Amino acid sequence: MKTAIFSDVHGNIIALKQFLEAVREQVQSYICLGDIVNYGPWNDQCLQTIVELPNCTILEGNHERLFLGTENLSNEIRLVQDFFQVSYGYFERKDLISSLPQYLDLGDFRCIHTINHRSVYPDSNITVDRNFIIGHSHYQFSIRRSGCTIINPGSIGQNRKWINRVEFAVFDTETQHADFSSIEYDVDAFISELVDRDYPRSCIDYYKSKPRN
C-alpha cells in the first residue's frame, strides 16, 4: 500500500491543495505528522480538508498544542507569537485537534512530530534506538543515526530551504521505502493573503525574504 506522509501545513491551503492534487491518484492512505495550524490563516479549512481524506491519521504537533493552550506561547520567539496573534483569530475548530495521538507505528518506523522535542536536521548529531519518520524542522531528508533511519518528508506549507516548494513523501508499506517529492506552488498568492488579512510586517517579510527555487 502507498501512503502519503506529510507535515507542517501551517494554515497554507494553497500548498495543501497542490500536494493533494499531486498524490490523489497514487496513494491509498495518508499520515499527517502535525503542525497543520498557525502561520497561515486557513487553519480551519486545512484541518477540515485533511480530516476528510480517506484513511488518514493525524498526529499532534507543537502548534496544535499552542492552539489548545497546552503549550506556552511565551516560550516561542517573537515572530511565532506575531503569526499566532493573527492566525489564531481565524481558528474555530478546536474540536478537530483536541484529542490527536502523539505517534503511529508504521511497520519498522515510528511516525511522530519530532524526537524529544528537538529540531532534527540532516546534519544533526542525535542518538536513536529505532527508525523514525518525523516533521517539525521543515527540511526533507533521510539520514542514518545509530544504525537506524530517520526520515523527514519536508514541509507542505513552509519549506525553509525553498519557500515556494511543497515537499512530502510517498511510503510503500510493503518495501518500507519512502520516495521524496518536491513541487512548486504559488507562494505569492499566499503572501497576498497575509497582506489582505493585515498580518504584521514581520510575518510578511519572513515569507518574502526566503529563497526560492
Task: Indicate whether this model's pTM tops 0.85.
Answer: yes
**Strand 109-112's sheet: what is its strand order?**
103-106, 109-112, 131-133, 148-153, 140-145
| Residue 94, Cβ density class (10 Å: 0-12 exposed, 13-18 middle, ≥19 buried) | middle
Residues 44, 13: Cα–Cα separation, whole Å: 10
> Domains in the chain, start-ordered, CATH in brackets?
2-209 (3.60.21.10)
Residues 1, 27: Cα–Cα separation, whole Å: 7
Give the ranges where the chain is alpha helix by DSSP (H). 13-23, 43-51, 62-68, 78-87, 187-196, 201-209
Q: Give the CA distances from residue 55 to residues 43, 89, 90, 101, 168, in Å, rounded to whole numbers and listed in that order.
A: 21, 30, 27, 15, 17
Cell of 174: 510493503
CB 183 within 8 A of CB 18: yes
Q: For residue 59, what pLDDT is reported? A: 98
Strand 177-184 vs strand 109-112: parallel, antiparallel, or unpaired? unpaired
Cβ count near 95 (within 10 Å): 8
CB 213 within 8 A of CB 165: yes
2: left (phi over 0), alpha (psi -120 to 50) or beta: beta
213 residues of the chain, pLDDT tens digit each: 999 999 999 999 999 999 999 999 999 999 999 999 999 999 999 999 999 999 999 999 999 999 999 999 999 999 999 999 999 999 999 999 999 999 999 999 999 999 999 999 999 999 999 999 999 999 999 999 999 999 999 999 999 999 999 999 999 999 999 999 999 999 999 999 999 999 999 999 999 999 999
Paired with 120 in beta bridges are none
Residues 129, 146: Cα–Cα separation, whole Å: 7
Structure confidence by residue, pLDDT tens digits, 123-171 = 999 999 999 999 999 999 999 999 999 999 999 999 999 999 999 999 9
